[in-house]
Chain A
Amino acid sequence: DTGVSQDPRHKITKRGQNVTFRCDPISEHNRLYWYRQTLGQGPEFLTYFQNEAQLEKSRLLSDRFSAERPKGSFSTLEIQRTEQGDSAMYLCASSFWGQGSYQETQYFGPGTRLLVL
């Protein structure tokens, strides 16, 4: 499968613990996105990378959240001091955008489901 992959697929943690999720985008995709989806809602944008640069962060991304994409390939999303309200599906998406592109399609991964007890 050459699509976007995410690890782990499920994570159960206790309140106050730190968790880290990984996203591997489609090879050669230069854009990478993180979204969060809570029950009954559509995905909500969290942050976006163009290559290794983090260009936008949503106000949903509190100081406890940090995302990196160190070499412009895979990305990690860390949540420190987790709270029960962080329980959600965390989705990663990737796309390619370059000179001459006129359409962009975001391809989504399967998500990481986080449950904070």
Chain B
Amino acid sequence: AQRVTQPEKLLSVFKGAPVELKCNYSYSGSPELFWYVQYSRQRLQLLLRHISRESIKGFTADLNKGETSFHLKKPFAQEEDSAMYYCALMGAGSYQLTFGKGTKLSVIP
């Protein structure tokens, strides 16, 4: 069975401070990992995926297969980063996303 764990329900940081949103997964194989974000009163949208190895809005995430983690990082938090963040997994040959419970990021001005 595949599972995604986001240990923090809420994370508060000051503007300009580094941010790390944790995500651990359980999957016997090579999954594809994603971070989705939901800003206030907006729909869920893709932030980044591990396969692209890109930085979006200053966020990066590295897939660590040894630790089965895919933590989301940003060196300097901005107020507009305040949102709900979901880590998600797609198994090989699959099409359904398995989501974690989400972490609410609050950036304090």
Contacts and interface: CB of A to CB of B under 8 A. Distances in A.
A42 B4 contact: yes
Interface size range of chain A in the complex: 20 to 34
Contact of B49 (A33, A41, A103): A103
Nearest to A110: B43
A48 to B, nearest CB: 6
Interface of B: 4, 9, 43-46, 49, 51-52, 86, 88, 95-102
Contacts, number: 49
Given A58-B96, A110-B43, 12 more contacts: A33-B95, A33-B96, A35-B97, A42-B86, A42-B102, A43-B97, A43-B99, A44-B99, A45-B96, A91-B44, A105-B49, A108-B45
A31 interface: yes
